[in-house]
């Protein structure tokens, strides 16, 4: 294991110790509920345990060959996990593991008080050579006003309860936070209960998160609902499936050498009505990310077809196909097979049914994923990381082109972790963001690439002053990563840094967003006018081309998230450290650009006295 990952493991362990040390971790705070929810959750968990015990006695009568091995390692990268016979029933395994969890849970419930406390967790610092300190999440000291208030709703359908809203055309919003409620810009927000929808209507869920609080997220579901959770592997990096809660299975993908992280944040929510909701977000499944820190959420509801369609082997690059590749890559197939043993009537019987049973024709967003590992050859390389972004940019008609007709691409890249930036990597990424293949770039010598100037990229990261002046101050900067060594590195593009400030108010952001704008679109050509030159043109409507595109998702703007290209133009090699997921969609007007951006625009460039927020130099985090 690398030094980076050893330190990450230590950080996670430190955070877990801190969580158990604090009195009454806020793991059961429901933003929609009163104080009696703690008692309700305890009762539900007690009933779930009774149900599991009853199921255990029934399971012993079954044939042991029918039971899967729910805790085991994958044999290779992105391979299906073998389901070997188990010496004990799955429920028995669960009960023995759950006993200790339940004991600890009851102890926390006894200590729970209205005054919330500090919650700690760890998430990756996506830089390639820097080691992340433990993330310190400072939870608010008050539970009342934010939890009980009505946050800004959906202006177009105020009469419909938020958890019953449907979004057939897709919707992007920032999450509600207690530090900016209502939002300064007046835009509607998503709460976790809005995203999940009506609790009683949930039939099945597949979710993914890096940082996880299982008891907290379990509280939002009926105990009978089956859930598959994609999570971070242990230090070995081996793929594994395991029971963790009643009707919940935890699955982890393979991480080569135990390096990197499973950083995707997504949900596939299946409802009893047949509707499927796809959610891509930047928020971990912990209370802090849905209450104190601002995040971004894109979601769309997908209708059930009147009848399934046959498999189409030619459909390999649309949203459904890309999503199916993601699920295979993060070991959901094995988890689904295991889940079907005791839940034979799941709305999804196989990953291939996603396209066959649901109608994706109204989805305009494009899915972009990163799958950890080494990818060699164009057919594989183009499906993941920033080469996948390149293919998507072409697909939506945003390729900038070359020569006199080339358009100027301006990128505004915002995130919560700073990477190790070289002119080679920034130009490599910029090439893909232009929709241009890296073939010509790879044909050049490495030495010549090192002499290239930095491209038109604005890197948005909060200054130290911005963090200090936020509602939570330095205590809230525990999930924002930059290291002094990165910032002072020779030839580091410090002149390309801009302050990252939320439009909502004095709140810090955990969002990851790229705003891409094409300028001088009509350079050297006459811009079309609205004048009608003759009768034959009178019925022709002049449609302005799109202004650019936006990305939101789990990718920080780092090589670990988007990948590093090497090899040759004939045989490229892409190495990626993390599993990441996001969506790309068109931006048609300047007004839409300003509306979609989570940060204040135009962003303010760092002055000579500005420095980025560096957590390790904070007196608060050093003392912590």
Q: Is the pLDDT of residue 70 over 50?
A: no
State yes or no: is 263 an active-site residue: yes
First to last CA, the chain: 26
pLDDT of residue 112: 40
The Cα–Cα gap between 280 and 551 comes to: 11
Closest to 256 measured CA to CA, from 12, 575, 559: 575
In the chain, pLDDT over 90 holds for what percent of residues?
A: 63
Alpha carbon separation from 11 to 126, 322, 425 (Å, rounded)? 14, 33, 28
pLDDT of residue 159: 57
Burial class for 392, CB neighbours closer than 10 Å (0-12, 13-18, 19+):
buried
pLDDT of residue 568: 93
Task: Say which residues have a Cβ less than 8 Å from residue 420's Cβ, sequence separation at least 6.
Answer: 127, 128, 129, 130, 486, 489, 558, 559
Residue 84 has which token pair?
A: 């070997």
Contact 426, 571 (CB under 8 A): no
Residue 129 has which token pair?
A: 């050579």
Closest to 309 measured CA to CA, from 262, 272, 356, 263: 356
pLDDT of residue 311: 83
Annotated binding site: which residue ranges?
265, 512
Strand positions, DSSP E, 171-281: 171-175, 189-190, 202-208, 227-230, 240-245, 248-252, 266-271, 276-281
Task: Output the CA angle 560-566-572, nearest 5 degrees.
Answer: 110
Q: What residue has token string 């043993």?
A: 341
298 forms beta bridges with 172, 280
The Cα–Cα gap between 199 and 202 comes to: 6
Q: Express each pLDDT in 438-491 by its tens digit.
A: 888 899 998 899 899 999 999 999 999 999 999 999 999 999 999 999 999 999
Report the half-sphere exposure of 487 (CA within 13 A, side-chain side). 18
pTM: 0.77
Q: What are the residue boundaries of the structural domains of the chain, listed by start?
A: 3-150+162-357, 367-521+544-623
514 forms beta bridges with 413, 551
Mean pLDDT for 160-172 is 88
At residue 595, φ and ψ (nearest 5 deg) are -70, -40
The Cα–Cα gap between 72 and 246 comes to: 19
Residue 123 has which token pair?
A: 């998430």
Reported confidence tier of residue 163, pLDDT bands at 50, 70, 90: confident
Note the CATH number of domain 367-521+544-623.
Answer: 3.30.870.10
Residue 318 in 3-state DSSP? coil
Cis ω for the linkage preceding 303 (within 30 of 0): no
Per mean pLDDT, which range of 15-24, 73-82, 112-121, 509-518 is the poorest? 112-121
pLDDT of residue 237: 95
The Cα–Cα gap between 599 and 550 comes to: 13
Closest to 325 measured CA to CA, from 398, 379, 283, 250: 379
Mean pLDDT of the chain: 79
Of 263, 375, 555, 621, which is the active-site residue? Answer: 263
Per mean pLDDT, which range of 2-11, 186-195, 241-250 is the poorest? 2-11
pLDDT of residue 47: 53
Residue 327 falls in which region: left (phi positive, over 0), alpha (psi -120 to 50) or beta: alpha
Report the half-sphere exposure of 36 (CA within 13 A, side-chain side). 0
Class of the 3-150+162-357 domain?
alpha beta
Is 367-521+544-623 the same fold as 3-150+162-357? yes
Of 137, 179, 254, 510, which is the active-site residue? Answer: 510
* Higher-confidence position of 376 and 154: 376
Q: What residue has token string 């809660």?
A: 245
At residue 550, φ and ψ (nearest 5 deg) are -130, 150
**Tally of CB atoms within 10 A around 565:** 24
The Cα–Cα gap between 480 and 331 comes to: 29
Residue 264 has which token pair?
A: 């995707």
Contact 292, 146 (CB under 8 A): no
Contact 155, 193 (CB under 8 A): no
Element (H, E) at 374: strand 373-376
Q: Express each pLDDT in 279-307 by its tens digit.
A: 999 999 999 999 999 999 999 999 999 99
Residue 100 in 3-state DSSP? helix
Reported confidence tier of residue 338, pLDDT bands at 50, 70, 90: very high
Alpha carbon separation from 567 to 374, 375, 442, 452, 574 (Å, rounded)? 12, 11, 7, 19, 8
Q: Is the pLDDT of residue 57 over 60?
A: no
pLDDT of residue 404: 58
State yes or no: is 137 an active-site residue: no
Task: Output the CA angle 220-104-48, nearest 5 degrees.
Answer: 45
Q: At what angle do helices 423-433 and 385-395 cross, to 10 degrees?
A: 30
The Cα–Cα gap between 376 and 365 comes to: 27
Contact 606, 498 (CB under 8 A): yes
* Higher-confidence position of 555 and 143: 555
Annotated binding site for substrate: which residue ranges?
265, 512
At residue 505, φ and ψ (nearest 5 deg) are 150, -155
Closest to 548 measured CA to CA, from 519, 524, 523: 519
Q: Is the pLDDT of residue 150 over 70?
A: no
The Cα–Cα gap between 300 and 496 comes to: 34
């Amino acid at each position: 294991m690398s030094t980076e990952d050893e330190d990450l493991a230590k950080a996670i362990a430190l955070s877990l110790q801190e969580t158990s040390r604090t009195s009454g971790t806020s793991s059961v705070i429901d933003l929609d509920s009163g104080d009696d929810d703690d008692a309700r959750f305890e009762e539900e968990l007690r009933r779930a345990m009774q149900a599991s015990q009853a199921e255990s006695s029934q399971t012993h009568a079954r044939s042991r060959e029918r039971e899967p091995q729910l805790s085991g390692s994958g044999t290779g990268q992105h391979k299906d996990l073998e389901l070997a016979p188990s010496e004990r029933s799955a429920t028995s395994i669960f009960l023995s593991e759950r006993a200790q969890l339940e004991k600890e849970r009851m102890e926390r419930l006894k200590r729970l008080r209205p005054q919330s406390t500090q919650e700690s967790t760890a998430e990756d610092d996506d830089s390639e050579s820097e080691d992340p300190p433990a993330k310190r999440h400072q939870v608010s000291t008050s539970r009342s006003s934010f939890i009980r208030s009505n946050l800004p709703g959906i202006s177009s359908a105020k009469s419909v309860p938020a958890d019953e809203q449907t979004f057939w055309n897709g919707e992007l919003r920032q999450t509600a936070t207690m530090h900016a409620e209502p939002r300064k810009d007046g835009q509607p927000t998503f709460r976790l209960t809005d995203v999940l929808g009506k609790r009683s209507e949930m039939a099945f869920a597949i979710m993914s998160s890096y940082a996880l609080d299982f008891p907290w997220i379990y509280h939002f579901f009926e105990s009978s609902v089956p859930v598959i959770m994609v999570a971070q592997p242990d230090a070995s990096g081996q793929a594994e499936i395991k029971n963790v809660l009643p009707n919940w299975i935890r699955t982890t993908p393979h991480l080569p050498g135990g390096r990197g992280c499973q950083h995707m944040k997504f949900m596939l929510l299946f409802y009893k009505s047949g509707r499927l909701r796809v959610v891509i977000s930047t928020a971990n499944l912990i209370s802090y990310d849905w209450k104190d820190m601002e995040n971004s959420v894109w979601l769309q509801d997908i209708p059930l077809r009147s009848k399934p369609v046959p498999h189409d082997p030619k459909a390999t690059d649309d949203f459904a196909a890309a999503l199916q590749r993601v699920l295979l890559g993060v070991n959901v197939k094995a988890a689904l097979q295991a889940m079907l043993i005791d839940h034979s009537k799941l709305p999804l019987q196989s990953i291939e049914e996603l396209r066959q049973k649901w109608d994706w024709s109204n989805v305009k967003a494009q899915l972009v994923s990163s799958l950890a590992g080494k990818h060699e050859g164009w057919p594989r390389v183009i499906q993941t990381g920033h080469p996948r972004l390149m293919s998507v940019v072409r697909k939506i008609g945003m390729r900038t082109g070359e020569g006199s007709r080339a358009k100027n691409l301006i990128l505004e890249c915002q995130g919560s972790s700073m990477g190790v930036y070289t002119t080679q990597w920034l130009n490599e990424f910029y090439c893909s963001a232009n929709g241009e293949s890296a073939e010509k770039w790879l044909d050049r010598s490495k030495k010549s690439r090192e002499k290239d100037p930095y491209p038109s990229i604005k890197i948005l990261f909060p200054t130290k002053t911005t963090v200090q002046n936020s509602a939570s101050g330095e205590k809230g900067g525990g999930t924002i990563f930059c290291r002094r060594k990165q910032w002072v590195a020779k030839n580091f593009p410090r002149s390309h840094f801009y302050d990252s400030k939320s439009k909502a108010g004095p709140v810090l952001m955990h969002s990851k967003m790229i705003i891409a704008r094409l300028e001088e679109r009509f350079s050297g050509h006459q811009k079309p006018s609205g004048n009608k030159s003759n009768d034959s043109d009178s019925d022709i409507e002049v449609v302005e081309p799109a202004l650019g595109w936006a990305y939101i998702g789990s990718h920080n703007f780092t090589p670990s998230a988007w990948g590093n290209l090497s090899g040759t133009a004939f045989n490229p090699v892409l190495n990626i450290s993390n599993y990441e997921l996001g969506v790309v969609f068109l931006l048609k007007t300047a007004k839409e650009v300003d509306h979609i951006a989570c940060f204040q625009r135009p962003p303010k460039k760092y002055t000579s006295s500005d420095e980025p927020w560096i957590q390790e130099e904070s007196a608060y985090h050093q003392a912590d």
